[in-house]
Amino acid sequence: MEHYAAIIGWGMSVPRRVVTNDELARQIDTSNEWIRSRTGIGERRIASADEYTSVLATAASQQAIERAGIAPEAIDLVILATSTPDRPFPATASVIQAQLGIPRAGAFDVVAACSGFVYGLHIANSMIQSGAHQTILLVAADLFSHILNWHDRNTCVLFGDGAGAVVLQQRDQPLGLLSAVLGSAGEYESLMLIERGGTRQPLSAENSHLQDRYFSMHGREVFKHAIREMALSSQQAIEEAGLQPDAINLIIPHQANLRIIEVLIKRLEIPFKRVFVNLERYGNTSAASVPIALCEAVEQGQLHDGDHVLLTSFGGGFTWASAVVRWGR
Ligand code: COA
């Protein structure tokens, strides 16, 4: 019998502290007007010291497990998508597994930058389809506030911290992921990266003052690639799901920039009213942006049983991923 992986629970968690554009404009040479007109972002959440990656991820997961109406013991695999783990070693997924009291379930991290959640969805779906697992917790959490250069106005205004989670469970009806298209173009690594701090250019006492230990980005180049790859992979995912674009009820794109989303939607020839956007309040939360938006879309009653949702994301690597989900549990 064929197996499917329905999304049966969803949750999110963001830091308490709201940082507005005006607050940033008091610290660096920027303005609310510039940030809003170039990106659509109005404010973002920034984590305090007690709100590290596993804390937000665990809170989002607890909400998802509660909404799924299952006991934590029912989960047999934990996947965390993050580029900003609690510690460089070991994986933070195991911390979440222990915090949630999920006994002995497998746990690992996925690193695919902003595309991490949709990558994780494909992995979780494949694991359930194969029959290897029945109930999987997929959580995405990123705290870019820790890797940003807060003196670099080109990047620090764009991101926020947060976590989003889903629970996937095996079903025999065609629910959940209908298609997924993953891609990568490593030749563009230098357009969005942290140069120093890994094994290639290690951090040391002598070089730890250098700016290249922070996130850097060529915004205009990223902008073009993001639109191109999200559009192409979305079209492919819709086709592979056996659908026409007008059968997509809701698009939940990676929440990086409103202008990227507007151009993308035009290319896909889907009316803007079918797009969910919440980046005004959170900025770009990297891997967490799609599940946070998904969670808010469900809670606002924008998804109904049988609806087709297109998820599409793009991030460092470059990586990108698009997927079509049939909603319902
Ligand atoms: N406030 C004020 N001015 C700023 C600024 C800020 N926060 N950030 C950059 N600028 C300046 C630049 O220095 C530049 O000035 P210059 O012309 O004197 O050098 C000017 O604004 C215009 O920069 P430009 O790069 O042309 O702006 P843009 O319209 O392309 O918008 C981004 C810049 C970053 C918003 C846009 O390129 C973008 O969103 N790219 C995608 C980034 C992204 O989403 N990355 C994550 C994907 S996962």
Please say whether the beta carbons of 230 and 254 come within 8 A: yes
Is it true that 4-174 and 178-326 share their CATH fold? yes
Strand segments, DSSP code E, in the chain are: 4-13, 17-20, 43-46, 77-81, 106-110, 135-143, 161-171, 176-184, 192-194, 215-217, 250-253, 308-315, 319-326
Which superfamily is assigned to 178-326 in CATH?
A: Thiolase/Chalcone synthase (3.40.47.10)
Please say whether the beta carbons of 312 and 321 come within 8 A: yes
Cis peptide before 215 (omega within 30 of 0): no
**CA 99, CA 48: separation in Å to the nearest integer?**
19
pTM of the predicted protein model: 0.97
Predicted confidence at residue 96, as pLDDT, reads: 98
Residue 313 C-alpha to ligand 1 middle, in angstroms? 20
**pLDDT per residue as tens digits for the range 134-170:** 999 999 999 999 999 999 999 999 999 999 999 999 9
Domain boundaries in the chain?
4-174, 178-326
**pLDDT per residue as tens digits for the range 166-200:** 999 999 999 999 999 999 999 999 999 999 999 99
How many residues are there in the chain?
A: 329
223, 227, 261: which to mutate for ligand 1, most atoms within 8 A of CB? Answer: 223
For 145-153, which contacts have Cβ atoms below 8 Å and span 24 or more sequence positions? 145/46, 145/47, 146/47, 146/84, 147/83, 147/84, 147/194, 147/214, 147/215, 148/214, 148/215, 149/211, 149/214, 149/215, 149/216, 150/27, 150/28, 151/28, 152/211, 152/214, 152/216, 153/28, 153/29, 153/30
Q: Which of 114, 122, 295, 308 is catalytic?
A: 114
Predicted confidence at residue 1, as pLDDT, reads: 79
Lining ligand 1 with CB less than 6 A are 30, 34-35, 38-39, 114, 153-154, 157-158, 217, 219-220, 222-223, 226, 256-257, 284, 314-315
Identify the residue whose C-alpha is closest to ligand 1 atom 38. 219
Q: Which of 254, 257, 295, 308 is catalytic?
A: 254
Question: How would DSSP label each residue in 173-185?
Answer: SS-EEEEEEEEE-
The CATH code for residues 4-174 is: 3.40.47.10
**pLDDT per residue as tens digits for the range 219-262:** 999 999 999 999 999 999 999 999 999 999 999 999 999 999 99
Mean pLDDT value of segment 207-225: 96
Cα→Cα distances 62→6, 7, 67, 207, Å: 18, 15, 9, 40
